[in-house]
Structure 1
């Protein structure tokens, strides 16, 4: 049973600098605290993992940092990671053996999120995912 709040949505916002890779862990902690009484532990773990992947991608592949917006509404969690660099939209691909541990982030998002996508902005893009409470296993 999900422990989501009743009523209107609530949000969490964070801004991360380009060279601030340690902020990925801080963003995970902030998300965990934000979801403490709004989500079940399994959903929180999934949200933390997917947030880490998107934030890491944004910080590594852009030069202007990232902004995180998390919206929790009854039955739904939406996480958005915005970068500020125009360019090609990210797409999942199957990494090969030479890629080491790289190239799996969007595959995880595609596999674990209920929905996800990319929205282009005037400057940069937003990569987002949603988790829905109470979905069938």
Structure 2
């Protein structure tokens, strides 16, 4: 695999900077534009948005987003710096659109997980994709 087959993105998102979610999503869209088919790229954007939003809303702190793209695989990691593991639950119908982030990741990602660190955690997912 040549160097041109690898692409990476690394962004720090500030505390409560929900506007940055759209910026990171746009950066991933550009990163995937000529590398992946449209449908898996849209799934990647959706799941990335969910994880970054969760990190900002539920921790009250900033986050670091790392994305790596290979021809057949995408990995997204969202790291926060607050102890404690996120809970995955099925929200009730009255919750509107809240509480669905990890449920979406569980159902749409090819693999995903949570890694605890001395300071905070990383929630990650991987998608298998295809070149256009």
Q: Which residue of 2 aligns with 1:3?
A: none
User: Which protein is richer in helix relative to its size?
Assistant: 2
2:103 to 102, 107, 122: 107
Mapping for residues 56-135 of structure 1, pairs under 5 Å: 56-87=53-84, 89-134=85-130
> Which ranges in structure 1 are unaligned for 5 or more consecutive residues?
1-5
Q: Deviations over 1:14-64 (max 9, x none)?
A: 100112101111111000001112111111100000000000000001122
> Taking structure 2 as the reference length, what is the TM-score of the superposition?
0.91
Q: Separation in 2 of the partners of 1:125 and 1:118?
A: 7
Q: Which portions of structure 1, spanning 4 or more consecutive aligned residues, are displaced by more than 4 angstroms?
A: none
> Which ranges in structure 2 are unaligned for 5 or more consecutive residues?
none
Q: Separation in 1 of the partners of 2:2 and 2:44?
A: 21
Count matched residues.
Answer: 128
Q: RMSD in angstroms over aligned alpha carbons?
A: 1.3
Instruction: Determine helix, strand or coil for the equivalent of 1:54.
Output: helix
Q: Separation in 2 of the partners of 1:114 and 1:7?
A: 24
